[in-house]
């Protein structure tokens, strides 16, 4: 069974937030295994019901040029990004999907699947919360900031590596 850390960059904090990037990484006890990254065309996110919040837009404008790079370059439609993510996850729906917060990444991603009438590639009982693990078990376990903060793939990798160290510490007792 795969563990996959997901990080989204969005234009809102609502469950139906417009997604601009999806970053994910498969990981295990020995570290990172495989990466996924898609920049999403904002217009397609909005056309499928994605919410834009002016406060979030203003927050993005105050971020680094590297972080705002999530909006530049080759972007794919939300539908295509979600299809590609489903292929990355795999067809068996057994992956554990980790997000940073019980009410954010996984919820927003699930709402996006609903908005384009695609089946989620994971079962709801395989939702996992990195933030909970971090808050409960990371005392003294260093979190290494990514080189580019608020970049979906870089954040997903940093979170997955931190979670690997937390899980290793739990196993050691």
> What is the mean pLDDT, run by run of 10 residues, along the chain of 173 residues?
94 98 95 96 96 97 90 92 97 93 96 98 96 93 93 97 94 84
Task: Give the pLDDT score at 59.
Answer: 97
Identify the CATH assignment for 3-172 out of 3.30.300.30, 3.30.110.60, 3.30.420.10, 1.10.1750.10.
3.30.420.10
The pairs formed by 138-146 with CB atoms below 8 angstroms and a separation of 24 or more are 138/162, 138/166, 141/165, 141/166, 141/169
Task: Give the pLDDT score at 86.
Answer: 97
Domain boundaries along the sequence of the chain: 3-172
Task: Give the pLDDT score at 143.
Answer: 93
Contact in structure between 51 and 16 (CB atoms under 8 Å): yes
Q: What is the pTM of this model?
A: 0.96
Task: Give the pLDDT score at 173.
Answer: 78
Task: Give the pLDDT score at 99.
Answer: 97
* Phi, psi values for residue 122, rounded to 5°: -140, 155
Task: Give the pLDDT score at 136.
Answer: 94
């Amino acid at each position: 069974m795969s563990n996959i850390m997901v990080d989204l960059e969005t234009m809102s904090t609502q469950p139906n937030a417009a997604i601009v990037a999806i970053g994910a990484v498969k990981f295990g006890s020995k570290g990172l295994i495989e990466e996924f990254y898609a920049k999403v065309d904002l217009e397609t996110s909005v056309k499928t019901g994605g919410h834009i919040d002016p406060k979030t837009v203003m927050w993005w404008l105050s971020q680094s040029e590297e972080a705002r790079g999530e909006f530049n370059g080759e972007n794919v439609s939300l539908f295509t990004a979600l299809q590609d993510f489903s292929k990355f996850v795999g067809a068996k729906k057994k992956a554990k999907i980790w997000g940073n917060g019980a009410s954010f990444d996984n919820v927003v991603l699930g709402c996006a699947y609903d908005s384009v009438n695609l089946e989620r590639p994971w079962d709801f009982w395989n939702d996992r919360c990195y933030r909970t693990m971090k808050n409960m078990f990371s005392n003294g376990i260093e979190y290494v900031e990514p080189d580019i903060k608020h970049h979906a793939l870089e954040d997903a990798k940093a979170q997955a590596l931190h979670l690997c160290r937390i899980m290793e510490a739990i196993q050691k007792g």
